[in-house]
Amino acid sequence: MNKESPPTELVERIAQGDRDAESQLVERYSAGLWAFFGARWHANGAVSPEDLVQDTLQLVLESLRNGRLNDPNKITSWIIGVARNVANNARRKEGHRDHDVLRESDLIDVAPPRWMAEHSRFTSATVHSVLKKLRKKHRDILVAYYVDELERDQICRLYDLTPAELSRLLYRAKAALKKKLVRVLPKGLDS
């Protein structure tokens, strides 16, 4: 089949054993996974980003073949979660964990300059606690943009978004973050 299927349809077809659907899923998400691992993994690591992409796709396909995804509408965020787990497991096997691979609990402690420049007056604990209260999609987009410092086109590929959708999502996520931060800031810091 040459026509590209929607992700939810791919999930269904993969569970039924459709190899063409598997190829479409791999083609659709490979570039985003490369962006994800490329932004986090040093070239001198014992495991290459290529291996991590392959491991992630293998786990995703095995799970989909066995019908383990409960909500096909959440396939993109589920694949990102699998990728994070693969990266964390690879670091653990190497015997160390550095801040190239992030857990949600580490978001602020490893914040790069772009994040710090915009939010330097807030403590990391405050921002971290507020981030945890955001919708997952808002949190993921903010982390990808500010913490991971992914380019907009990489984020679009990773989350299967158009540039316009990403702009709207970033705007809404920043507005939600600001609204929650204003509630927890001491008087005088919220101006």
Domain stops at, among 38, 66, 94:
94
**Cβ count within 10 A of residue 67:** 12
How many CB atoms are closer than 10 A to CB 120?
9
What's the rounded mean pLDDT across residues 40-45?
53
pLDDT digits (tens, 9 = 90+) for 144-154: 887 777 788 88
Q: Is residue 83 assigned to a domain?
A: yes
pLDDT band at 125 (very low <50, low <70, confident <90, very high): low
Specify whether 90 is located in the same domain as 117.
no
145 and 180 together in one domain: yes
Structure tokens at 149: 């410092």
Coil, strand, or helix at residue 164?
helix
Q: Which residues have CB under 8 Å from 157's CB, separation 6+?
A: 31, 32, 35
**Which residue segment(s) compose the domain that 69 sits in?**
7-94
Q: Is residue 191 part of a domain?
A: no
Q: Residue 127 belongs to a domain with what CATH number?
A: 1.10.10.10
Residues 38 and 124: their CA atoms lie apart, in Å, by 25
> What pLDDT, in 10s, does the model give residues 6-35?
888 999 999 999 999 999 998 888 877 877
81 and 11 in a single domain? The answer is: yes
Percentage of the chain lying above the pLDDT 70 cut: 73
Domain finish residue from 70, 94, 118: 94
The pLDDT confidence band at residue 91, using thresholds 50, 70 and 90, is confident
Same domain, 79 and 143: no
Domain stop point among 94, 123, 138: 94
Q: Give the ranges where the chain is alpha helix by DSSP (H).
A: 7-15, 19-38, 49-65, 75-94, 113-119, 124-133, 136-142, 152-159, 163-184
189, part of any domain: no
Kindly state whether residues 129 and 154 are assigned to the same domain.
Answer: yes
